[in-house]
Structure 1
Amino acid sequence: MSRVSPKVLALLGALTLVWGTNWPLFRIALDELPVFTFRALVLSSAVIMLTTILLIRRESFAVPKGKWPALILASAMNIGIWNIATSLAVLYIPSGHASVLAYTMPLWVAVLGFVVFGQKLTGRLLAAIAIGAAAVAALMIPNFKSYASAPLGLFWGLLAGFCWAVGTFVVKRTNWSGMGLSLTFWQVLITLPPIALGALVFDGLPKHWPSTQALAATIYTGAIPMALGTATWFTLVKLLPAQVAALSSIAIPIVAIVSGILLLKEPLSALQAVAIGSTVISLWLALVPGRQR
């Protein structure tokens, strides 16, 4: 495995920070907004941000011929089902628990890559996956009682991770000739109508205006983590092997835990400390090449 460039490491660090620290803000917004309404507002904010950037940079909105089926599938997997499945998961289990299940995505990528695409797994990458799985397990162990009493929460959380893995392969294995930021724009835009319809059906029209704090958290979530963070993620998927890109996401729930400790004064358990250590080792194995003999 070749050495990961400083540019990729910088993108990875920025994405991990942005997506990881967003979870406390996510909770702040959901204290006042129903889940589907929150998702619809986030996607709307993301569309506005991405449209503005594309217009300022004078980038093309065009989709290459014959790529619409792959684009729609990627939209459904990466953003549509992800948003719906995680939303349904938090109805049955705490949102933090749901996020841990959703970030089992790297394990699904490894399984799909091996079973469906016949991709080989090096011993180093297998070790990284195994240790990453241990990190996820360490985060899940305290919540097994919740999962046993709420199997639907477990199902929706794991479905989110699985669909994200499928979407990662769709993006990785499709030639998006000429598409840069517009790849993210179209995925968000395609997803917005069904999420907005879900907000009207399940949440109804808003009955009150959210506080400035909740509204700011919602707009920020759409403009930065959803718009720019997702664009950064797709860039990483193009630059890295699918398994390595997927493993890089393991650090995100760890940052979410740490930010919850710092911002929300949440306790740090021994298992969470083990998970943080396991994640560091897993990422080192995945991103730092071994010595050549």
Structure 2
Amino acid sequence: MEQRLPSPRPRPYAIALLFARGLAGVCASLILGLIAFGNRQSLEVPREAVPRLLFASFTNVFAWMGFGTIAMKFVTVGEGALIIYTMPIWAMLFAWPFLHQRPTIGDVAALVLGVAGVALLLGANGYAFDRGKLIGIALSLSCAILFALGNVLSRKPLPMPSLAVVAWQVGLGCLAMLILGVLFERPNYAAISPGGIASFVYMTLVPMGVCYLTWFETLRRLPPVSASTGMLLVPVLAVIAAAAILGEPLGLREVAAMALTLGGVTLALQKV
């Protein structure tokens, strides 16, 4: 008798993630805009600032969130994150020609420690370079490079109130994601569950609202290399949360990776 193989489990991120993140970002931008209006901050965009605002929206929001989201449909989360979180390396390289900040031995050591920690944490599986993986790797690498470039160039502030800048960047970048999500993902609106609504509210208020607001404020106060190296804490926190909530393993490999990453972040912040 022929043995029937079990059906493969669908990838959990094969849902309408681009649509969901785009809609959450647009809602977050409206909330930020209302807060800015309530604080009597002008939302008007000076004509000379329009090209820089569009470029910042593309690199800091659409490329980071959109490219990263699409990449996860072709590579695993670990593979994509490993490439995306090479962003501090590109930030260090871009800061040299654009901001005349030549990397020091401490910068290089911090980045080596941080990236080594992320590589140890997420790089257990090798890459299979078929067509799908190549697309995912290209998108992840583009995400890292463009976001790093946007972070470096954002050191020169736009001639607008800071809250208005964040609202416009998140809104424009996520509006493009929302349109692409509607066109290509064709989300099933009737399938939204109460848990999905709760996740959407969280994504709107925290990742798209509070996190972007604090990130752009961080860029105003810290050098790009130090700020972007601190982002290496993200996968570390994800491992801890996954172990606590989902019961995923937290062994010597994970502890060693976190020690390396935290060492890199600490070293990067020493000169701040």
For 1:262 and 1:248, how far apart are their aligned partners in 2?
22
Does the residue aligned with 1:144 lie in a helix, a strand or coil? coil
Unaligned stretches of 5+ residues in structure 2 = 1-11
The yes-or-no answer on 1:256 pairing with 2:241 is no
Identify which of structures 1 and 2 has the higher relative contact order when contacts are C-alpha pairs closer than 8 Å and 6+ apart.
1
Q: 1:131 aligns with which of 94, 98, 113?
A: 113
Q: Is contact 1:100-1:253 (8 Å) kept?
A: no
Larger Rg: 2
For 2:253 and 2:40, how far apart are their aligned partners in 1?
49
Q: 1:83 aligns with which of 41, 65, 78?
A: 65
- Report the Cα offset of residue 277 of structure 1: 0.3
Q: Is contact 2:85-2:115 (8 Å) kept?
A: no
How does 1:159-238 map onto structure 2 within 5 Å? 159-172=142-155, 174-238=156-220
Bigger share in helix: 1
Cα offsets for 1:49-92 (capped at 9, x unmatched):
21232233222212345111111100000111222211221111
Aligned-pair identity in percent equals 24
TM-score (structure 1 length as normaliser): 0.81
Q: 1:282 aligns with which of 264, 267, 270?
A: 264
The yes-or-no answer on 1:272 pairing with 2:272 is no
For 1:115 and 1:54, how far apart are their aligned partners in 2?
34
Give 1:268's aligned amino acid.
L
What does residue 3 of structure 2 align with?
none
Cα offsets for 1:253-293 (capped at 9, x unmatched):
11111111111111124332222001111111111249xxx
For 2:140 and 2:183, how far apart are their aligned partners in 1?
22
Number of aligned positions between the proteins: 260
TM-score (structure 2 length as normaliser): 0.87
CA RMSD of aligned residues (A): 2.2
Cα offsets for 1:222-266 (capped at 9, x unmatched):
222111110110011011111111111111111111111111111
Give 1:220's aligned amino acid.
Y
Q: Is contact 1:89-1:152 (8 Å) kept?
A: yes
- Report the Cα offset of residue 135 of structure 1: 1.4
